[in-house]
């Protein structure tokens, strides 16, 4: 066991620091205009710091897989508050899926613009009748000439109103069995056959939508994998989504600590309250358990070993920690919890913004597969308990 | 960067597992459980022969010259097996001696502690749950002590007792000397039996560096308790999963019932991430002095707390049989409570961790 990165990586760290000192105005997001942000991303990609798994041919940083370098980059960019890769489904889910399963022309056409943030992607999986039982989905696709014609409805589609494209699961082989009848299609959203209706979320914002497909069209070759292979292809995507959500809770814990540091209870600093001290210490221990579990997984990844059941636990661990953060914050913000989190202008918002984390932590129990479904997976795949036939 | 056990450490664990599986089967553990013995002499000798009682001691004194992490690896498997006896107190007392003893004291005790031929234990807690070095009040007068220490592991089997004194000092008391009395406690965890020790003008031999290391010695003990608790929790999860795969009700294996699946998934979620925290606390003790006290406090409070939850869940998953003395699950439930309370409850260590964090 050795938590030191070693000479090679410390040298690399210095290199990253020098790069950041030269190209990023340290610590001030505001001081860097949007254009500066995307220029910076381009420079950082050219240097091989971002999109390391994406070949240069598609605009990536193309570097040999090195989880430690990736970790050093995250740490240093985080410290300098420099922009990392563009966020969103495109980069976190579609790009890895295309890299694994896409046709050459699909990679060329979509990856570069996606990682530059020019193409944004919605994930069109869930339907009104198909959530946890996603494979029961009913949106139909049929090939007419050189086009897919799609009819049906997707729901809870995050950010669809701001996206140009959607990767979606569609039933194209009605005769085949449940899982074997699904294909993975890429669909342009700006077309007459598609209507996007924002849904107001529990927070009052409208981040997700209903997407109605009525005679919607997409070219015949905008399919990833073969016909009827969509379920398998989507597993690549879900795996990436789990990784994304299962990330560490250190950052949210640190913001909670900033709240604890300024909050008062009964007119005294909250930090003097033994019950709060006990609770945040318990929370920190939990975050450390998560953090070092992640280190262990990283080590196993580097050495080609199987870390075991913990990989299935990451999502629930992050979700549960998020719930406890929310519970502590609720205790501390007092009457601010009576306010709507987004009613005031952004620069006028106070502690009520924690109500967004309160809601968001709840959303994590649902989005990307519910906690119950995850528990099924842990029990059946992780612990080897018998599978329930009816849900296969 | 490598956050995993080495091949040697895994082999060490495997050796302990293999030994305890064959030599300390449940039948033998049950006998010990129901006896008044505080040490199983055969198992203790066997553990000594494996070399695991001196893992942490310098080679010059017959130890293996390894680190606390290695000792924690052993503690994890000891917890997994709910192995009988004072492994924790013995190895920590010897560690203290190696850190703070005079050459003469080390010469006299360490070689035989490393082999287990002689047994050491810890006398830290004073009545009122005063476990921490800064709380110890017992103070020697003219090289002698009078007073009480509670929850002393295997006191009646020990040859030497490491006693915590006023100002965080440490001293050795030979168990056979005049003025040392034992009253076996009717302890909850019968795999780790304890006694109340009363000193009545007993001669004590101070460790020259005692006050300088007592906090660190306490931290090492917290690390071992966390490791033991992870091992115990892992065993509980295995027991619960095995039972769910054998027991039938309503014409099928109970493991098919989703409610039970989810309970077991939650146990996994509770205990599995604890392993890395226990490891980290040991690693920090060995290599990151500025964070080691806080890591030990976090590990002890978090892991023993989770172990307690997991052990309760395991009893529940066994139904009526789980509620019997006959079913082995209670060995771990009680060991969980021991680990949780011994050396201070999670609350105590969480509040310490908060102080240590500078909050
Ligand atoms: C904020 C947010 C963003 C989202 N973004 C997207 C998106 O961009 N794209 C997209 O496609 N989807 C998205 N979703 C949808 C999400 O994936 C689904 O909501 C989720 O998979 C659950 O499906 P459902 O809503 O139909 O609930 P249901 O499946 O009806 O579940 C209802 C309850 O029943 C439980 N349940 C169902 N089946 C089982 C079972 N077998 N065992 C035990 N319990 C069960 C569930 O755990 C849940 O508690 C988003 C959801 C949220 C909340």
- Note the pLDDT tens digit of each residue in B250-286: 999 999 999 999 999 999 999 999 999 999 999 999 9
**How far apart, in whole angstroms, are the C-alpha atoms of residue B310 and residue B119?**
32
Question: B317 with B332: CB under 8 angstroms?
Answer: no
User: Is there a contact between A277 and B346 if contact means CB atoms under 8 Å apart?
Assistant: no
User: Is there a contact between A376 and B275 if contact means CB atoms under 8 Å apart?
Assistant: no
**How far apart, in whole angstroms, are the C-alpha atoms of residue B6 and residue B277?**
17
Minimal Cα–Cα distance from A387 to chain B, Å?
7
pLDDT of residue A31: 56
Question: B354 with A281: CB under 8 angstroms?
Answer: yes
Give residue A363's domain range.
246-382
| Residue after which a domain boundary falls, among A160, A194, A228 | A228
pLDDT of residue A56: 96
Q: Does B289 touch chain A (CB under 8 A)?
A: no
The Cβ-side half-sphere exposure at A244, using a 13 Å CA radius, reads: 21
Q: List per-block mean pLDDT (blocks of 10 residues) for chain A, which spans 392 residues.
A: 94 96 72 77 96 96 91 90 92 95 97 95 98 97 97 98 98 96 98 98 94 98 97 78 59 95 96 97 98 92 90 95 97 94 90 94 95 97 86 57
pLDDT of residue A26: 61
- Note the pLDDT tens digit of each residue in B113-146: 999 999 999 999 999 999 999 999 999 999 999 9
- Note the pLDDT tens digit of each residue in B344-357: 999 999 999 999 99
- Note the pLDDT tens digit of each residue in B63-96: 999 999 999 999 999 999 999 999 999 999 999 9
Q: Does A277 touch chain B (CB under 8 A)?
A: yes
Per-residue HEC secondary structure of chain A comes to CECCCCHHHHHHHHHHHHHHHHHCCCCCCCCCCHHHHHHHHHHHHHCCCCCCCCCHHHCCCCCCCCHHHHHHHHHHHHHHCCCCCCCCHHHHHHHHHHHHHCCHHHHHHHHHHHHCCCCCEEEECCECCECCCHHHCCCEEEEECCEEEEEEEEEEEECHHHCCEEEEEEECCCCCCCHHHEEEEEEECCCCCEEEEEECCCCCCCCEEEEEEEEEEEECCCEECCCCCHHHHHHHHHHHHHHHHCCCCHHHHHHHHHHHHHCEECCEEHHHCHHHHHHHHHHHHHHHHHHHHHHHHHHHHHHCCCCCCHHHHHHHHHHHHHHHHHHHHHHHHHHHHHCCCCCCCHHHCCHHHHHHHHHHHHHCCCCCCCHHHHHHHHHHHHCCCCCCHHHC
pLDDT of residue A355: 95
The CATH number of the structural domain formed by B120-211 is 2.40.110.10
Residue B36 has pLDDT above 60, yes or no: yes
| Residue after which a domain boundary falls, among A228, A262, A295 | A228
Minimal Cα–Cα distance from A321 to chain B, Å?
12
- Note the pLDDT tens digit of each residue in B200-209: 999 999 999 9
> What phi and psi, each to the nearest 5 degrees, are found at residue A71?
-65, -45
CATH of B213-356, one of 3.90.100.10, 3.60.21.10, 1.20.140.10, 3.40.50.300: 1.20.140.10
pLDDT of residue B97: 98
- Note the pLDDT tens digit of each residue in A257-271: 999 999 999 999 999
Radius of gyration of chain B (CA): 20
pLDDT of residue A302: 86
Nearest Cα to Cα of residue B314 among B248, B259, B235, B251? B235
CA torsion sign, A223 to A224 to A227 to A229? negative
Tokens describing residue B129: 């749950």
Is residue A229 annotated as a catalytic residue, yes or no? no
Q: Is residue A169 part of a domain?
A: yes
Chain B CB contacts of A291 below 8 Å: 276
Q: Is residue A96 part of a domain?
A: no
Q: Name the residue among B245, B276, B354 with its Cβ closest to that of A385.
A: B245
Is the minimum distance from the CB of A369 to ligand 1 under 6 angstroms? yes
Domain of A191: which CATH number? 2.40.110.10
Q: Is residue A93 part of a domain?
A: no
pLDDT of residue A245: 39
Question: B153 with B122: CB under 8 angstroms?
Answer: yes
Q: Are residues A66 and A148 in the same domain?
A: no
pLDDT of residue A388: 74
Residue B171 has pLDDT above 90, yes or no: yes
Is the minimum distance from the CB of A24 to ligand 1 under 6 angstroms? no
Q: Is residue A49 part of a domain?
A: yes
Q: How many CB atoms lie within 10 A of CB B178?
A: 10
Residue owning the nearest CA to atom 52 of ligand 1: A367
| CA A373 to ligand 1 center in whole angstroms | 9
Q: Are residues A149 and A269 in the same domain?
A: no
The three-point CA angle A72-A78-A84 to 5° equals 90
Q: How many CB atoms lie within 10 A of CB A18?
A: 10
Nearest CA in chain A to B358: A271
| Residue after which a domain boundary falls, among A228, A259, A282 | A228
Q: Are residues A29 and A154 in the same domain?
A: no
| CA A374 to ligand 1 center in whole angstroms | 11
Show me where the domains of chain B are located: 7-115, 120-211, 213-356
Indicate which atom in ligand 1 lies nearest the CA of residue A369. Answer: 21
How many percent of chain B have pLDDT more than 90? 99
pLDDT of residue A35: 75
Q: How many domains does the structure of chain A reveal? A: 3
Mean pLDDT of all residues belonging to chain B: 97
Cα-based distances in Å from B310 to A204, A312, B74, B112, B270: 39, 18, 21, 37, 7
Q: Is residue A110 part of a domain?
A: no
pTM of structure = 0.95
| CA B350 to ligand 1 center in whole angstroms | 36
Q: Does A293 touch chain B (CB under 8 A)?
A: yes
**Centroid of chain to Cα B146:** 27
Q: Does A379 touch chain B (CB under 8 A)?
A: yes
pLDDT of residue A67: 86
**Centroid of chain to Cα B319:** 29
pLDDT of residue A389: 64
pLDDT of residue A242: 44
Chain B CB contacts of A274 below 8 Å: 351
CATH of B7-115, one of 1.10.540.10, 3.90.1150.10, 2.70.150.10, 1.10.760.10: 1.10.540.10
pLDDT of residue A387: 86
pLDDT of residue A236: 80
CA torsion sign, B89 to B92 to B94 to B96? negative
Minimal Cα–Cα distance from A374 to chain B, Å?
9
């Amino acid at each position: 066991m050795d938590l030191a990165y070693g000479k090679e990586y410390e040298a690399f760290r210095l290199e990253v620091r020098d790069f950041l000192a030269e190209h990023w105005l340290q610590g001030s997001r505001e001081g860097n205009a949007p254009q500066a942000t995307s220029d910076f991303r381009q420079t950082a990609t050219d240097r091989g710091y971002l999109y390391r798994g994406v070949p240069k041919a598609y605009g990536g940083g193309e570097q040999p897989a090195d989880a430690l370098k990736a970790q050093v980059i995250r740490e240093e960019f985080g410290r300098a508050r420099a922009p990392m890769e563009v966020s969103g489904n495109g980069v976190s889910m579609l790009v890895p899926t295309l890299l694994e399963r896409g046709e050459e022309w699909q990679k060329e056409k979509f990856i570069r613009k996606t990682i530059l943030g020019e193409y944004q992607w919605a994930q069109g999986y869930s339907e009104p009748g198909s959530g946890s039982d996603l494979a029961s989905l009913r949106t139909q696709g049929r090939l007419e000439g050189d086009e897919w014609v799609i009819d049906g409805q997707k729901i809870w589609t995050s950010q669809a109103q701001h996206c140009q494209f959607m990767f979606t699961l569609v039933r194209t082989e009605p005769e085949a069995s449940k899982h074997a009848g699904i294909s993975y299609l890429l669909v342009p959203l700006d077309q007459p056959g598609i209507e996007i209706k924002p849904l107001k979320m529990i927070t009052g914002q409208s981040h997700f939508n209903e997407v109605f497909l009525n005679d919607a069209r997409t070219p015949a070759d905008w399919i990833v994998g073969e016909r009827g292979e969509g379920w398998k292809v989507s597993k690549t995507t879900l795996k990436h989504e789990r990784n994304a959500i299962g990330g560490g809770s250190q950052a949210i814990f640190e913001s909670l600590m900033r709240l604890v540091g300024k909050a008062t209870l009964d007119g005294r600093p909250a930090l003097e309250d033994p019950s709060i001290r006990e609770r945040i210490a318990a929370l920190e221990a939990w975050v450390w358990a998560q953090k070092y579990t992640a280190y262990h997984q990283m080590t196993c990844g580097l050495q080609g070993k199987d870390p075991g059941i913990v990989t299935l636990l990451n999502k629930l661990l992050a979700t549960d920690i998020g719930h406890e953060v929310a519970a502590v914050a609720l205790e501390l913000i007092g009457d601010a919890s009576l306010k709507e989190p987004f009613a005031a202008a952004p620069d006028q918002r106070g502690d009520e913004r924690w109500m967004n984390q309160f809601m968001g932590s709840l959303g994590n129990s649902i989005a990307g597969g519910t906690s119950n479904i995850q528990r099924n997976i842990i029990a059946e795949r992780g612990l080897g308990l018998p599978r329930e036939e009816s849900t296969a | 960067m490598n956050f995993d056990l080495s091949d040697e450490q895994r082999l060490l664990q495997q050796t302990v597992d293999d030994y305890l599986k064959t030599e300390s089967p449940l039948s033998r553990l049950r006998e010990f459980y129901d006896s008044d013995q505080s040490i199983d002499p055969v198992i203790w000798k066997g553990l000594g022969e494996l070399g695991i009682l001196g893992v942490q001691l310098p080679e010059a004194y017959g130890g293996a010259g390894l680190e606390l992490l290695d000792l924690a690896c052993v503690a994890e498997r000891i917890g997994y097996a709910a192995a009988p006896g004072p492994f924790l107190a013995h190895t920590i007392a010897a560690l203290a001696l190696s850190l703070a003893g005079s050459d003469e004291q080390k010469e006299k005790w360490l070689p035989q502690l490393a082999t287990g031929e002689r047994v050491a234990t810890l006398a830290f807690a004073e009545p009122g749950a005063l476990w921490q070095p800064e709380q110890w009040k017992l103070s020697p007068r003219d090289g002698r002590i009078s007073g009480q220490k509670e929850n002393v592991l295997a006191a009646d089997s020990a040859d030497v007792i490491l006693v915590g004194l006023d100002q965080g000092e440490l001293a050795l008391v030979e168990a056979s000397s005049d003025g040392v009395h034992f009253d076996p406690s009717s302890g909850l965890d019968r795999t780790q039996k304890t006694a109340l020790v009363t000193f009545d003008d007993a001669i004590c031999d101070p460790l020259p560096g005692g006050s300088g290391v007592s906090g660190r010695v306490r931290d090492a003990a917290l690390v071992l308790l966390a490791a033991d608790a992870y091992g115990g929790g892992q065993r509980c999860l295995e027991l619960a999963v095995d039972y769910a795969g054998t027991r039938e009700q309503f014409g099928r294996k109970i493991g098919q019932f989703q409610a039970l699946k989810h309970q077991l998934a939650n146990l996994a979620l509770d205990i599995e991430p604890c392993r890395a925290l226990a490891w980290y606390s040991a690693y920090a003790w060995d290599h990151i002095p500025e964070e080691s006290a806080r890591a030990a406090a976090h590990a002890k409070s978090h892991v023993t707390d989770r172990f307690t939850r997991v052990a309760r869940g395991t009893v529940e998953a066994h139904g009526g049989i789980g509620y019997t003395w006959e079913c082995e699950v209670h060995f771990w439930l009680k060991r969980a409570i021991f680990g949780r309370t011994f050396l201070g409850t999670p609350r105590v260590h969480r509040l310490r961790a908060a102080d240590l964090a500078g909050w």
